Structure 1
Amino acid sequence: MNAGGRRRRKSEDQTARMIVENVNNLDIDEDDYDDGGHFDIDSHVESVDLLPLENALAHRTEKYDALREGHLVVRRGQPFYILVRFTGKFSAKNHSVRIVFKTGPAPRPGKGSHVQCLLSSKSSQQDWTAVIASRQGPNALKVSICPPANCIVASWRIVLESIVERNGRPKAYKYIHPKHIHILFNPWCKDDAVYLDKPDLLNEYILNDSGAIFQGNYKQIGAKPWFYGQFEDGILEASLYCIQKGFNSNFCQSMGDPVRTSRIISKMVNSSDDGGVLVGNWSEDYTGGKSPMSWSGSVVILREYMKTKLPVKFGQCFVFSGIVTTICRAVGLPCRSVTNFASAHDTDGSVTIDFYWDLDQKEVLSGIGDSIWNFHCWNDVWMRRDDLPSGYSGWQVVDSTPQERSDGMFQCGPTSLRAVKAGKCDMLYDCPFVFAEVNADKVNWTRDKEKQWIVLSINTDAIGRNISTKIPDGKPLKPELTNTDSIRQDITADYKHPEESERERLSVISASRSAITKKPVYNKGIQDVQFGGFLHRDNVTIGEQFEVKMTFTNNSQSRRTLQGKFICETVSYTGEKIGVVKRQEFSSPLAPATGGEMSMIVSYADYIHKLTEHAAMKVIVVAKVMETGQIHVWQDDFRLRRPDLSVEITSASSRTWQPFECRISFLNPLNRNLTNCTMMVEGPGLDAEKEFMIADVGAGETWIALLTLTPKKPGRRQVAVTFNCDQLKDLNGVTEINITN
């Protein structure tokens, strides 16, 4: 330790030394004080070593940077040890030591935020225990302390009060330790409500500090690398602060309840009600902040929030999900980021997703009805649900994206996945909304000649496709961001039974009983023209043209006339229409028992100036058989492919504090220059993600950059890179490196 470190440590020790006071109204005379106003030195507590590293290894908290500052990070329901040194020989006969734990601005025993226990030679049945584990010489004791498995999860202060007999009279001393003890949830402890009986999964859902959040659509699933960084400097403190703020600094037993805590986290990660972490923005105008696409990790966001105490601008669902994963894993809640493709947003509680068509204009009426997002990200958090009937524990949905109010606040969950799967929408919390997101029926409506709403069609399998999370291998992300099969786990079966199965239909019926339902009037006219042949455009790269195509067959013995319209639109990933790329009307006579096809070509020039940052598009086809009034509507959401970044490391491994080089490259697929280019890098050796300004990239040019990083920590680490420019958004690349000491 250098001289500065010794001086700092000495100052801390002096701060922690005895403050003498009356304890339990002991009678102490002025003669007991020395000239400096302190007691004469008797055998009382002189110092306390929190044994941070020893405890951290036993509690699986050794990765937390808070340890470097001398703080202790432990998990509840499991003993930890402290080394107590006395100024003289410790005598159990003449010493009484009381250990006091306090948390919050106004600790109260009745709220569980002020706890005291007497040091004993044997364990007791008290909630908190402090037991002499061993003697470390005549003047020192190793003490085992065990907080209960339901104690408040927070930063605690520890105080040791010594009562010593001197000349037949008691003296009281107080030792205040200058460092905090961060007590976390403990998913390894059977008595904790977050206990997960598959320890291997905790290598992912607690201990993995990097991963991926999936985006795109259900036919083309891409992965965005994300650095959760729950062990980084200041992140545990930020996480505990968010929870404290969500409880309005009312430190109480609820702060040890994962149900209440996870609901608070869902509220505090968005800024809509309580000045939480992140401002949502889906406008594509990010003046005054950063595009949500530019973030690749949680650390920068949480540090900025702690620095300013103001919401950070801006985020979308995948950023909210990444922050929730960071906070949950930091405080010991097993958590995974989840992406639901074709995710419904039910605005009226009907548990159906309703689209209203103006058939004269052959398009969807805007501004009314529900929406289907190409993808939506939320979180699953593992816990026991003592507030629900038996059978609803396990994974629970927690969603911090501000969509609908719950109990007057923008919060969602925890919602039992088992309740969602069974359609038990009367279970707390927000089950009808989550059920609709994954298993609502899509209903197309229009008006008949009497202006009564009728149902054109019902699609029972359009909602909730390929629900995805990272495979729980506990490892950094593999560089497979386009072909995601090797890194993605499909968890759709956790949320619902197979589509169209009897159990799936029964769950929908069960959910609809608690919903605000409509009484559909079905269009029961003649249906003798069969439609099909709709092309899925899943492999179109930005810069290429694509075709919209429909086939039809007249199954009747009469002549039919088909009229309709192709529409291609750019949309946000939330399904909101941004602009029309191309419209094309068609009319075709159909002889009896014959078929045909119609198509529309969309060129690069048609869409390039109207493309959104997610490169999301929608194709709509509306067709009407004039003789019978039969109507067919069809929609398809898709995303144009963007190139992935190639991230290569020249050496297979590296050592701490030894530089290594990354080679980053991609091919510009456009016939124009890329301007205002930036690169965000998250990797070992960087305290947080770092932004680099990049020169323009020429049309059709292969761009290459070399980057040198110096790792500070050992282990398998992820290097993630995100490239943005005016023309292309959110190009991602990732690789991993094994770092040794």
Structure 2
Amino acid sequence: MDALRVQYVNLEHAQNQKQHNTEGLNSASLVVRRGQPFKLTVVFNRPYRLNRDGLTLRVEQDRLYNDIPITFSKDPSQSQWTAYFQQGSLDSSKASLCVSSPANASVGVYQLQLLMMSSFGPYNFKVGQFTLLCNPWCSVDSVYIPDESQREEYVKNDFGLLYQGTAKNIIFRPWSFDQFENGILDICMMMLQVSPEHRRNWKIDYSNRSDPIYISRVVSAMINSNDDSGVLQGNWSEDYSGGVNPSDWTGSGEILRRWAQSRFSPVKYGQCWVFAGVMCTVMRVLGIPTRVVTNFDSAHDTNGNLVIEEFYTETGEKLPRGQDSIWNFHVWVECWMKRADLGAGFDGWQVLDPTPQERSEGAYRCGPAPVKAIRERRVDMPFDIPFIYAEVNADVHVCIVQQGKVLSYSIDTDRVGSLICTKSLSSNRPQDITSTYKYTKAIQPVRSNSTMAAPILANNSSSADGLSVTLRLLKAPVIGGNISFSVTVTNMENTRKTVREHVNAQAKSYNRSPSDTFWEAHNTIQLAPHESKVLEHQISYSRYAMLGDGQLVNLAAVVMDMASQERVLASEEFNLTSPTINIQIADEGSVVAQKCQVAMVTFTNPFSEPVSGVLTVAGAGLLEDKVLFNVALQPGESTETAVKFTPKMAGVKMLHANLRLNNNPAVIRGFRTITVRPA
């Protein structure tokens, strides 16, 4: 009888990837998940004979391999590699071969070979390659998440919303994760290969890639470029020459492709939400459930004493003192995994932060830290729990100073970590997850019926023995209009008072102390015993028009009792609401995969001067590339642009637009989610 030879092997890409929930992940190789069988169709030169022909399947990762005897026993193991012919598939020269990997197999790219030793000599056949990912659908995989709606949102959803601004006025920033775009899966695999851990000892690295804890720490370090060939270079200087303003990025795909095309030179530039958005993409590609989280009023406690000190002058100007700071918002990710190293009580969501702030075991990375451990202040556990605990729990000590002398002192225990939120399941609204991190009751933002959050008006009060001061915005501040606010001063004693009011406004970036004062006012008023007076103020647009995209206002009022020299401070940091771009689709119910559709993108100039700029429209799974239009509008004039798009696949997708103006620092944004039906 002729020697058994393999003529052809079909890797059954479509069938396998549908069963493994990897449809749409774009790669030349087969993409499957660990702990779950996949099927190959093998065509021999003659029928296979059980008693005479012996076949072995070799699964090889670089120079490490497993030789798996092929059996007829349909008993796939989730603890070791197995391979078996399906019963009844060997009646002819065609056979169905099932291969199953252990649920803790190393993530990466593998080569497959069929080996045979017979009287005719050794023989091997190169079958091809496959990429193996974590499996949140497999109950014994350490990233298993039982709810299908969570798997859809945290693994398969290729768009999201990153929340910025302030807890009282949340800004929705659309973001394309792009995990199904061309080349992204292969780039994520390259990231593991160029990591310092792989270069240091490739054998140990492959072995450790079975553990999502290890994988997540490698990726957290590789997203920033501070001490490796990482993806992004951070820049908070407001000088973005030689690179891209972080506010201009709209998704992860372009960043990851630039990094790979440059042979792993860092892409310029990123800030916290960009680092987090890119890490979310990589982790979802690798099969680890991931969501982006925003912590409003996030403390950066450099000395670990859980105290952030803030200093004001006697006229309300905030001073840039100290190494510690409070970011108006900070963005990181949470990944879902078991923590066998800590015990079952700490399974679930883990904080990972790729923004380079502090070193962890010698590298700029942070986590994975169990959210439950942060809530319970388990600072004895790995990784980086004390730093994250301070980000959501530090106290704020506020001082009014004059020539080095402290004139007034107060402690705020509620401001830090005022709201922690993430995108809701199957919704664009923020989900408040503050209670998972801390026991303190969180601020509850007011929500409008639209997809945008309605701002709460700031209402900040402070009082001492003799005076009470309340600072309140009279209406939600909108770019282009006046900032209207009031200062209410109350005499709490039985004696008449003469008081001096100082009000100060400074521009502020989200991650640092304010810059110089751009507006101030000073008044002297008389107060009868127990009398309250309301002083109303307005800051015209011309005074704050220089504010850059995403900048905030630090507003402070200091009221001094002229007789006792007692001073009371009330302050508020707030962002201004931007105008929006409107996106409409004539018949949203008719959007079908592989069929061309049209969206109308509309914007009206709300400013009192002409504007011009570039309108960019993008959408993962809807547009092959960004679409750009030049825009020039007179005050009150509108532009309406038709954008054609063809959805690649069924599901919920996002079309988003941004308008970068030439003569105005505001960046105008808008988005629309679209449900695509199967063809």
Contact 1:571 1:612 in 2 (8 A): no
Report what 2:122 is aligned to. Answer: 172
Report what 2:212 is aligned to. Answer: 258
Structure 1 residues not aligned, in runs of 5+:
1-39, 109-113, 479-486, 502-525
Report what 1:103 is aligned to. Answer: 61
- 1:534 and 2:476 aligned: no
Contact 2:501 2:559 in 1 (8 A): yes
Report what 1:499 is aligned to. Answer: 441
The residue type equivalent to 1:540 in the other structure is P
Q: Call closer, same or farther: CA 1:186–1:722 in 2, change over 3 Å.
A: same
The residue type equivalent to 1:318 in the other structure is W
Aligned length: 648
- 1:213 and 2:158 aligned: no
Report what 1:275 is aligned to. Answer: 229
Q: Call closer, same or farther: CA 1:587–1:55 in 2, change over 3 Å.
A: same
Contact 1:95 1:165 in 2 (8 A): no
Contact 1:538 1:638 in 2 (8 A): no
Q: What TM-score results when the alignment is normalised by the length of structure 1?
A: 0.83
Report what 1:577 is aligned to. Answer: 514
Q: 1:91 aligns with which of 31, 34, 49?
A: 49
- Output the CA distance in 2 between the equivalents of 1:295 and 1:698: 27
The alpha carbon displacement at 1:274 in A equals: 1.0
Q: Call closer, same or farther: CA 1:500–1:228 in 2, change over 3 Å.
A: closer
Contact 2:48 2:90 in 1 (8 A): no
- Output the CA distance in 1 between the equivalents of 2:654 and 2:527: 59
- Is the partner of 2:119 in helix, strand or coil? strand
- 1:127 and 2:96 aligned: no
Contact 2:615 2:657 in 1 (8 A): no
- Output the CA distance in 2 between the equivalents of 1:197 and 1:656: 29
- Is the partner of 2:198 in helix, strand or coil? coil
1:37-61: CA deviation from partner (whole Å, max 9, x where unpaired): xxx9721333322111121121111
Contact 1:99 1:159 in 2 (8 A): yes
- 1:427 and 2:351 aligned: no
- Output the CA distance in 2 between the equivalents of 1:417 and 1:602: 42
The alpha carbon displacement at 1:302 in A equals: 1.2
Report what 1:290 is aligned to. Answer: 244
Contact 1:297 1:682 in 2 (8 A): no
Contact 1:544 1:604 in 2 (8 A): yes
Contact 1:205 1:336 in 2 (8 A): yes
The alpha carbon displacement at 1:253 in A equals: 1.8
Contact 1:119 1:130 in 2 (8 A): yes
The alpha carbon displacement at 1:83 in A equals: 1.9
The alpha carbon displacement at 1:133 in A equals: 2.0
The alpha carbon displacement at 1:734 in A equals: 2.1
1:479-490 to structure 2, matched below 5 A, reads 487-490=429-432
Q: 2:270 aligns with which of 315, 339, 345?
A: 315
The alpha carbon displacement at 1:602 in A equals: 0.8
- Output the CA distance in 1 between the equivalents of 2:672 and 2:655: 6
Contact 1:532 1:550 in 2 (8 A): yes
Q: Call closer, same or farther: CA 1:600–1:370 in 2, change over 3 Å.
A: farther
The alpha carbon displacement at 1:656 in A equals: 4.1
Report what 1:8 is aligned to. Answer: none
1:305-361: CA deviation from partner (whole Å, max 9, x where unpaired): 1111222222221111111111111110001111112222222211222213444x6
The residue type equivalent to 1:80 in the other structure is F
- Output the CA distance in 2 between the equivalents of 1:489 and 1:76: 31
- 1:412 and 2:366 aligned: yes
Q: 1:242 aligns with which of 171, 191, 197?
A: 191
Which structure dedicates a bigger proportion of its chain to strand?
2
- Is the partner of 2:356 in helix, strand or coil? coil
The alpha carbon displacement at 1:705 in A equals: 1.3
Higher mean alpha-carbon deviation, 625-634 vs 716-725, is at 625-634
Percent sequence identity over aligned pairs: 31
The residue type equivalent to 2:85 in the other structure is I
Report what 1:186 is aligned to. Answer: 135
The alpha carbon displacement at 1:683 in A equals: 4.8
The residue type equivalent to 2:244 in the other structure is K
- Output the CA distance in 1 between the equivalents of 2:281 and 2:154: 10
- Output the CA distance in 2 between the equivalents of 1:358 and 1:682: 48
The alpha carbon displacement at 1:362 in A equals: 4.4
Contact 1:456 1:631 in 2 (8 A): no
Q: 2:306 aligns with which of 351, 355, 359?
A: 351
Contact 1:655 1:740 in 2 (8 A): yes
Report what 2:581 is aligned to. Answer: 645
Q: What TM-score results when the alignment is normalised by the length of structure 2?
A: 0.90
- Output the CA distance in 1 between the equivalents of 2:37 and 2:510: 48
- Is the partner of 1:203 in helix, strand or coil? helix
Q: Call closer, same or farther: CA 1:376–1:164 in 2, change over 3 Å.
A: same
- Output the CA distance in 2 between the equivalents of 1:536 and 1:467: 23
Q: Call closer, same or farther: CA 1:620–1:448 in 2, change over 3 Å.
A: closer
Q: Call closer, same or farther: CA 1:356–1:118 in 2, change over 3 Å.
A: same
- Is the partner of 1:382 in helix, strand or coil? strand
- 1:118 and 2:69 aligned: yes
Contact 2:435 2:441 in 1 (8 A): no
- Output the CA distance in 2 between the equivalents of 1:422 and 1:445: 30
Higher mean alpha-carbon deviation, 90-99 vs 233-242, is at 90-99
Contact 1:673 1:699 in 2 (8 A): yes
The alpha carbon displacement at 1:615 in A equals: 4.0
Q: 1:335 aligns with which of 286, 290, 293?
A: 290
Q: Call closer, same or farther: CA 1:500–1:286 in 2, change over 3 Å.
A: closer
- Is the partner of 2:398 in helix, strand or coil? strand
Q: 1:397 aligns with which of 347, 351, 359?
A: 351
The residue type equivalent to 1:638 in the other structure is F
The alpha carbon displacement at 1:592 in A equals: 3.4
- Output the CA distance in 1 between the equivalents of 2:270 and 2:112: 38
The residue type equivalent to 1:75 in the other structure is R
Report what 1:12 is aligned to. Answer: none
- 1:734 and 2:672 aligned: yes
Q: 2:36 aligns with which of 72, 78, 83?
A: 78
1:550-584: CA deviation from partner (whole Å, max 9, x where unpaired): 22222223344433521111111224324422122
1:612-631 to structure 2, matched below 5 A, reads 612-631=548-567
Contact 1:229 1:297 in 2 (8 A): yes
- Output the CA distance in 1 between the equivalents of 2:198 and 2:633: 50
Contact 1:718 1:736 in 2 (8 A): yes
1:393-448: CA deviation from partner (whole Å, max 9, x where unpaired): 11011111112222222111111100111122222111111112222222214569
Higher mean alpha-carbon deviation, 580-589 vs 409-418, is at 580-589
- Output the CA distance in 1 between the equivalents of 2:13 and 2:366: 36
The alpha carbon displacement at 1:537 in A equals: 6.1
Structure 2 residues not aligned, in runs of 5+:
444-462
Q: 2:418 aligns with which of 461, 465, 480?
A: 465
Report what 1:155 is aligned to. Answer: 109
1:568-614: CA deviation from partner (whole Å, max 9, x where unpaired): 11111224324422122333344433333434321111111x21211
The residue type equivalent to 1:378 in the other structure is W
Q: Looking at CA atoms only, which structure, 1 or 2, has the larger radius of gyration?
A: 1
Higher mean alpha-carbon deviation, 727-736 vs 433-442, is at 727-736
The residue type equivalent to 2:477 in the other structure is V
1:37-48 to structure 2, matched below 5 A, reads 42-48=3-9
- Output the CA distance in 1 between the equivalents of 2:379 and 2:499: 43
The residue type equivalent to 2:302 in the other structure is T
Report what 2:447 is aligned to. Answer: none
Contact 2:579 2:668 in 1 (8 A): no
1:658-737 to structure 2, matched below 5 A, reads 658-688=595-625, 690-726=626-662, 727=664, 728-737=666-675
The residue type equivalent to 1:74 in the other structure is V
1:643-672: CA deviation from partner (whole Å, max 9, x where unpaired): 111101123223444322111112211111
- Is the partner of 2:478 in helix, strand or coil? coil
- Output the CA distance in 2 between the equivalents of 1:444 and 1:41: 88
- Is the partner of 1:95 in helix, strand or coil? coil
Report what 1:383 is aligned to. Answer: 337
